[in-house]
Amino acid sequence: MQTLTLEPLTRAAFEPFGDVIELDGAKHFPINGGTTERFHDLARVEIGADSGGRPLINVFRGQSRPQPVEISMMERHPLGSQAFLPVGVVSYLVVVAPAGDFDAKKMRAFSIRGWQGVNYARGVWHHPLIVLGGVRDFVVIDRGGSENNCEETYLSEKFRLVENGWG
Amino acid sequence: MQTLTLEPLTRAAFEPFGDVIELDGAKHFPINGGTTERFHDLARVEIGADSGGRPLINVFRGQSRPQPVEISMMERHPLGSQAFLPVGVVSYLVVVAPAGDFDAKKMRAFSIRGWQGVNYARGVWHHPLIVLGGVRDFVVIDRGGSENNCEETYLSEKFRLVENGWG
């Protein structure tokens, strides 16, 4: 089986795929008479309003995945972005590949620790939610509309996610 | 000083002001091969796309307010809704009044326990974030755009929030 090595999630590494949603390094300023700090505009939300899209607020409750995690399919949303913000500190994994024709050789895998969210840009291939360590909830911001906005692709060979050094 | 009695937050009581975001009673269905439950479209998000608005994802970090809480001002966002989803279980208070000309006699106050969010409908008067018990983070979904989208009003007399029975 092929393997894919997990990397830590950073803004720089994830830039081709969308946004890392985190407070470190985010623009922020005080509001409400100084009682609240606003960390502002943390992701590029694309809802395709020109094609009748509207923003949805959802909660995804993800079951814990057995380890080692094996990747056999990927999906993409051609009409909008999709953001995941964990409700609390959650360990989860993210697997992505560039938008366009799917290329398994260009997949990247990221490991999240602490409070980090991700926003997949429109059309970016990604694996469905991979939660570790228990049932966990995420606030999910994506596109609503009547058009089909989910495409799947099945890999010809599975990839096993490995941590650096597990080899 | 006038008082305003806190009520528990329920969908029925909050209906004139927007949405209660909670999982009990929400539409939901399995996705991702049954590994994830999607609680779908939990709030009516208004971003005024026709006037150039776009959805923003933010985090508000609220300081704890001293108790008893006194209300001396309210605000509204005339161009869009504003949703608050706590990152974890957070105790906080919500004070609202109907859209239109502000009327202090129509204020309502709600107490949140457990995981509940709120979405203020466009133009609904509300008090800025009132967190109890420590610094807490909220995912906030509201409208981005160049127009002014915040109006404030100052009350002629303060209102003290009281729990039923404190009287």
Q: pLDDT tens, B141-151?
A: 999 999 999 99
DSSP code of residue B50: G
Mean per-residue pLDDT, B53-68: 97
- Residue that is written with structure tokens 């590994």 in the block: B35
Q: Could you tell me the CA-to-CA distances from B65 to A32, B4, B129, B132 in Å, in that order? A: 12, 17, 9, 6
Mean pLDDT of B29-46: 97
Structure tokens given for A133:
């360590």
Q: Do A36 and B128 touch (CB under 8 A)?
A: yes
- With an 8 Å Cβ cutoff, are A139 and B85 in contact? yes
Distance CA A10, CA A19 (A): 9
Cross-strand pairs, B110: B7, B94
pTM: 0.96
Q: Closest by alpha carbon to A55, among A115, A130, A145? A: A145
- Verify whether the Cβ–Cβ distance A62 to B36 is below 8 Å: yes
In which element (H, E) is residue A7 found?
strand A2-8
pLDDT given for residue A165 in this prediction: 58
Q: Which residue of A has its CA nearest to B44?
A: A56
Relative to beta strand B70-76, strand A130-131 is: unpaired
Calculate what percentage of chain B has a pLDDT beyond 70: 98
In chain B, the residue whose alpha carbon lies closest to the alpha carbon of A22 is B59
Rg (CA), chain A: 16
Tell me which residues of chain A have a pLDDT lower than 50: 167
Give the contacts of B83 (CB within 8 A, at least 6 positions apart): A57, B19, B21, B43, B45, B117, B118, B119, B120, B140, B141, B142
Residue A57 near residue A149, CB atoms below 8 Å? no
Q: Look at residue A113 in the predicted model and tell me its pLDDT.
A: 80
Tell me the chain A residues in contact with residue B47 when contact means C-beta distances shorter than 8 Å: 55
Query: Reduced to 3 DSSP states, what percent helix, strand and coil does chain A have, rounded to the nearest 5?
Result: 10, 50, 40
CB atoms inside a 10 Å sphere around CB A162: 15
Rounded Cα distance between B129 and A35, Å, is: 8
CATH number of A2-162: 2.60.120.480
Tallying the residues shown for chain B, one arrives at 167
Of the listed ranges A22-26, A106-110, B110-114, B120-124, the least confidently predicted one is: B110-114
- Assess whether pLDDT exceeds 70 at residue B165: no
**Looking at the predicted complex, does its ipTM rise above 0.90?**
yes
Q: Give the pLDDT confidence score for residue B167 in this predicted structure.
A: 41
Measure in Å the smallest separation between the Cα of B115 and chain A Cα atoms: 10
